[in-house]
Structure 1
Amino acid sequence: MLPGGEIMLGLPASTELNKKQGRNIPKTKFFSNIDLTGAQERLFVDELSSIKWMNKISPATMNLTISNGILELEVFYLKLKGMNVSERLLKIIDSAIVHPIIYVLDNENTSKIMISYKESSDSGKVNVKTYYSTEWVKDLPSLDFNALTTGELYQSLISQISDSRIITPNSEVSLAESVSLDIDRQKALAEIEKLEQKIKRTNQPNKKIELVHQLRELKETWGVD
């Protein structure tokens, strides 16, 4: 639900800030705390109306224990000026905050949920690897927040928001490995699409045969029909 509504994403009331209204985060906070270029500052001005910190998910607010170095997770509500938001802007926010962030994006007509997979070094530097999101919908779905640890919850949320593109890690496959495989697969799918377009445009028989061979090999490698 949106600020002032009932429950955000199905989270318990114990995680809410300011009684469901959230806590405003001035956009200027990012300008003052991070060395941004003029173009990066314009992203905040052009794309965002407001940022609200809605929920804090931690052992203090839910029955969780800390794992995988994740002390807490946050829910941010972003009111958009346009129909979408650039990942460049989200990456600035994510890089400034070490905790995982669940974004609720609202463009007045529809909403969607986004989350990044990011890693942090011992020095505290954050490396955002990629983003996952739901579709734009009129009514946001609730998420399953049942987990024993913060790390397990982060993994589960990425799996849910990615529509199971990322499988829940197990003893054989870690979250980092699953995300890395998915990134490679998405690159392969993009390359497949490019090859298919090239084949349609190519009139030279020998060149077309070469491209078809490349396409077949790539599809077989990634199990694409």
Structure 2
Amino acid sequence: MLGLPKSTELSKQLPKNAIYAKFQMNTAEKAKIDADISRITIVNEVTAAKIHIADGELVKSFFVLLVALKRKDFEDKTIITISKLIPQNMLLVLEFDGEAKLATYHTKLMQTEWKPQEDLSIELKGLNMDAVWENIIVQIGGIMIAQGNTLDEQIAVDEQKAKLQKEISRLEKLARAEKQPKKKFDLVLKMKELKKELERI
């Protein structure tokens, strides 16, 4: 799967009941996972030895989980819950009706677009497992790391930019609809300030 080396392949069912029992989930939490997920299978374990590169300081391995969904418009929270419950680096293949997308949780949930399942792949790039895992997050999140930034810094910058862009769009709509010249002027002024801030980031 995903074009990963054969040596990494596994096929190990991860029963939902085992997750519920281990993490003592209540009925409401179980119901949320049940509404979105039909089954979870561990399909790859990628370790430094299996792909013949150096161990990382932080990352020694990661798992690929195939998550069969019951609906395409699943709740992001369900996937975040699964990611947080299992204390491993995990790359999730979310699959529904022949289509699939990649997802991983790193400070927030990152996902690719839906594609035919057979078209999904991931590139293992890096001199050690830390770099390989960071590059996977970059590929899934579509992150362009600016020179001098760490991955986490870049994610924070991108989130700040997205918030500003959202606010600028909101103010543009309000300004277009505003009839009173003074209020319209104030909105345009605020918009210009935010645009300047966006350029500074």
Partner residue in 2 for 1:13: 6
Q: Is the 8 A contact 1:71 1:99 kept in 2?
A: no
Q: Deviations over 1:93-131 (max 9, x none)?
A: 1112222211111111421111121xxxxxxxxxxx212
Q: Which has the higher helix share?
A: 2
Which of 50, 73, 83 is the aligned partner of 1:84? 73
Structure 1 residues 112-127: aligned runs within 5 Å: 112-117=101-106
How many angstroms apart in 2 are the aligned matches of 1:100 and 1:187? 28
- Residue 128 of structure 2 is aligned to residue 149 of structure 1: yes
Q: Is the 8 A contact 2:23 2:85 kept in 1?
A: yes
Q: Deviations over 1:166-206 (max 9, x none)?
A: 42x86x22122112212222222222232233333433322
> Which AA in structure 2 matches 1:161?
I
- 1:62 is paired with a residue whose SS is coil
Deviation at 1:46, TM superposition (A): 0.5
With the length of structure 2 as denominator, give the TM-score of the two structures. Answer: 0.88
Partner residue in 2 for 1:137: 115
Q: Is the 8 A contact 1:104 1:111 kept in 2?
A: yes
Deviation at 1:44, TM superposition (A): 1.2
With the length of structure 1 as denominator, give the TM-score of the two structures. Answer: 0.80
- Residue 197 of structure 2 is aligned to residue 204 of structure 1: no
Task: Report how many residues are paired.
Answer: 199
Partner residue in 2 for 1:159: 138
Which of 193, 197, 201 is the aligned partner of 1:217? 193
Q: Which runs of 5+ in 2 are unaligned?
A: none
Deviation at 1:48, TM superposition (A): 0.7
Q: Deviations over 1:13-33 (max 9, x none)?
A: 01100xxxx211111122112
Q: Deviations over 1:199-224 (max 9, x none)?
A: 33433322222222222222232239
Deviation at 1:70, TM superposition (A): 1.4
How many angstroms apart in 1 are the aligned matches of 2:183 and 2:199? 24
- 1:61 is paired with a residue whose SS is coil
Q: Is the 8 A contact 2:124 2:132 kept in 1?
A: yes
Q: Deviations over 1:32-72 (max 9, x none)?
A: 12143433211211001111111111123221322241121
> Which AA in structure 2 matches 1:143?
I
> Which AA in structure 2 matches 1:222?
L
How many angstroms apart in 1 are the aligned matches of 2:39 and 2:56? 32
Aligned sequence identity (%): 25
How many angstroms apart in 2 are the aligned matches of 1:36 and 1:214? 46
> Which AA in structure 2 matches 1:134?
T
RMSD: 2.1
- Judged with a 3 Å threshold, the aligned counterparts in structure 2 of structure 1 residues 65 and 107 are, in CA distance, closer, same or farther, namely same
How many angstroms apart in 2 are the aligned matches of 1:184 and 1:39? 33
Q: Which runs of 5+ in 1 are unaligned?
A: 1-7, 118-128
- 1:223 is paired with a residue whose SS is helix
- 2:149 is paired with a residue whose SS is coil
How many angstroms apart in 1 are the aligned matches of 2:50 and 2:17? 28
Partner residue in 2 for 1:107: 96
